[in-house]
Structure formats: structure tokens, C-alpha cells
Amino acid sequence: MLHTSDWHVGRTFHGTDLLREQAGVLSHLADLVVDEAVDVVLVAGDIYDRAVPSAEAVRVATSALRKISEAGARLVVTPGNHDSAARLGAFADFAAAGGLHLRTTVAGLHQPVVLDDEHGQVALYGIPYLEPDLARHALEVPSAKGHTGVLTEAMRRIAGDLSGRPPGTRSVVLAHAFVTGGVGSDSERTIAVGGVEQVPASVFGGIDYVALGHLHGAQRIEDNLRYSGSPLAYSFSEAAQRKSVWLVDLDAGGLAGVERRELPVPRALASISGTLGELLESAEYDEFTESFLSVTLTDRVRPVEAMRKLRERFPHAVRLDWEPEGGFAAVLRYADAVRGRSADEIAASFLADCRGAPPTEREQALLTSALEAASKHDPDRDGDIR
């Protein structure tokens, strides 16, 4: 089996379209299916980045699924918290005939996809993302508490079905959840309910392999309980992660082994800092010209049109911060900052705080003119701020 998740097709990166990069990485999954003789690909939620994906996003995801199928693998897919389960599951019965098994309903989560090998049966159960307030009613357990409560009921139903299957049946569960011990990143949408979003690993006890989705970094919770992570980095907090998938082998006794396969990196992520002049001129930064960049400028005065100038050298700069060397001036309480000062003085001080330099003589004249014009519409104003 190949375990992947969190494709988030259609997501942008700081406003930059990623469909080309997503299509390239997802095509690589089909290559792995051929190279590693994969029988089934598990996609544990968040196929799309939004409940109503664009036509272009649907095209990319559909193309990826088709290539995986043509490479010789069946697919088991569940929705995550970003997906619309109803939309993803449309035509599920027809898709299953072609080897694409969409497990998107709460009512059917205990009904597995059953595959056979030389050792017998493998039952693959797909748990769609369970939003607690909705899922506890669908599961007919209104007293269930949070994510742990609804997933416990889901696993109880799965265990009941598994107990009625032939002895030696191996079991796989796909789930989209935050399991205790996992490490998140900046790009996951919180699924906290009442301040609690994590569930204990013990909820998934007794299963040969649990393919988890939601967290974007590949990680092992237990030998049989893992996150594959997202195939691309979706925040600068993931810059150091090596994106990958898990290859999972089952034998007659259950889990036989898990190996990691790294994915290609369409465009690296990096963070750099310095003055605008240094970043534009120093050969030290040549290696970052093709990276997605987060830039922190340290100029004492905020440079004008900094992003435009940066993109002349770094066309994929997507984030810009300004942290002047020596730090910002101390922040006064509003009352202290304006007491006894004219509107001109306050406006000039605001400009100095925002960019690190006071207004020029021409700018000050413009400010004064604008304030005078505004005061003509306020006959009670005397020019001072009390």
C-alpha cells in the first residue's frame, strides 16, 4: 500500500497558484505505483483545499487519480475537513467499478473495501472527517464528547464488522484527525472543538495499519499509526520538512514493514534577511533566485517599493516583513502618545513609526494641507488632540 494525504489541490501559497507544482508531484505517485508494485493507494483526506474546488483544481485531482489507476493501483479515498464529503462522494458507486473507492459517508464507515491476496482478505475502512456536533447525531450517540467521542463510536462499529470476518483478516483504517503526539505546522486549519482537537492513539487499537491525514509533516505516532503529511509544503514552517509517502507491506501476520519514499520538490522554500541593498547585490543570495522566499528587511528606514525591487532578482518572493536593525521604538499608550500634540505632530509621528523616518518637507506640507481641509468639515475641531 502507498499512504498519502492532504493534497489540498487548489491551494495557493501566499497568493501564488500551485496547480502546476501539485500536478507534478501527484504524477510522481503514479511512478511510485509502477516502481514499487503498489496494489492500493490510500488517500486520507483533504483532496481539495476547499469544499467547492475550482474547475482547474478538479481537473488536476482527477488527472492524478486517473494516472494512479492506470499505473495499476486501486484507490481508497476519504474526505478531510477541507473537503465536501457529499461532493467528493458523488458517483461513488460508479467509481468503485473502476477501482476508485470513495468512502465518504458516516453510515458506511464500517463497510470496508475488501481486497484479497495470497494470505486472505484485507479490509480497508474509510472514516470521513467527523465534525463532532454533526457526527454524533449521524452516529446516534448524542452524548459523545468531541473528536474522541465520535471516533470511538466509529471504531466500535468498525471493530464489530471486523469481528464477523474470517479469522486472519488484516485491517486498515483511513482517518483524518489530530492524534496526540503529532506535531502540527502553520498550514493546517484547526479542528478544535471547545479548545480540544486531539484524540488518543488508543482509539485506533487493534488495527494493523492506520493511515492518518490532517497534519502536514510525515510522522510516526506508533509503528502502525502514521501521518504521511502533505506532498508539498504549504507554509514556511514546513521549509525543513522532506515531503514523502509511506510504503506499507502487509503479510499473513499483519503489518510486515513500513518504508518512506521522498517526493520531488518542485520549488524550495527559504527565508532570508538583510538590508534591501545587500539582498539585491550580494552574490551570497544567488542560490535563492528560484525559491519561494520569505524576506525580512532590516533597513533602518522602510524601503519604498521593496517587493517590486526584490522580485526583479527573486521572482518567487512571496512574503515581506520589515524588522529594522535595532528594533522598533517603544510603544506608548494612546493617551500618552497624543496628549498635548497637534494633529500635524501626531500624523508626522505616525509616519515615522511606520517607516522609520519622519516625513520630508514636501510630505509634511501635504499632511498639513490634508488636515486643514479635514478640519473645515469639523467646526468643533481646534487643531489639538485632547
Question: Which residue range(s) make up the domain with 188?
Answer: 2-262
CA–CA gap between residue 344 and residue 350 (Å, rounded): 10
* Residue 115 resides in a domain: yes
Same domain, 253 and 297: no
- Same domain (yes/no): 51, 173: yes
Residue 143: what pLDDT? 83
Cell representation of residue 326 = 535595532
**CA dihedral in degrees (210, 214, 217, 221; nearest 10)?**
-30
289 and 254 within one domain: no
CB 236 within 8 A of CB 200: no
Q: Into how many domains does the chain fold?
A: 3
Q: Which residues of 137-162 are buried (b: 16+ CB within 10 A; e: fewer)?
A: eebebeebebbbbbbbbbbebbeeeb
Judge if 234 and 304 occupy the same domain: no
Residue 242's H or E segment, with its range, is none
Asked whether residue 277 is domain-assigned, the answer is yes
Contact 241, 218 (CB under 8 A): yes
* Residue 385 in domain: no
Residues 175 and 55 in one domain: yes
Mark whether 273 and 128 lie in a shared domain: no
Q: Are residues 252 and 288 in the same domain?
A: no
pLDDT by position in tens, the chain (length 386): 999 999 999 999 999 999 999 999 999 999 999 999 999 999 999 999 999 999 999 999 999 999 999 999 999 999 999 999 999 999 999 999 999 999 999 999 999 999 999 999 999 999 999 999 899 889 988 888 899 999 999 999 999 999 999 999 999 999 999 999 999 888 888 877 555 689 999 999 999 999 999 999 999 999 999 999 999 999 999 999 999 999 999 999 999 999 999 999 999 999 999 999 999 999 999 999 999 999 999 998 889 899 999 999 999 999 999 999 876 655 556 676 677 778 887 888 787 777 777 888 898 889 888 988 887 876 555 555 44
pLDDT score at 367: 86
Question: What gap in Å lies between CA 100 and CA 86, rounded to an integer?
Answer: 16
- The answer to whether residues 36 and 170 belong to one domain is yes
Integer angstrom CA distances of residue 337 from 135, 137, 359, 386: 52, 55, 18, 11
Closest C-alpha among 24, 28, 22 to residue 10 = 22
Domain shared by 257 and 304, yes or no? no
Is 317 inside any structural domain?
Answer: yes
Same domain flag for 219 and 358: no
Question: In this structure, are 70 and 142 located in the same domain?
Answer: yes
- Tell me 36's DSSP state: T
Question: Are residues 199 and 180 in contact, defined by beta-carbon separation less than 8 angstroms?
Answer: yes
Instruction: Determine, yes or no, domain membership for 381.
Output: no
Rg from Cα positions in the chain: 27
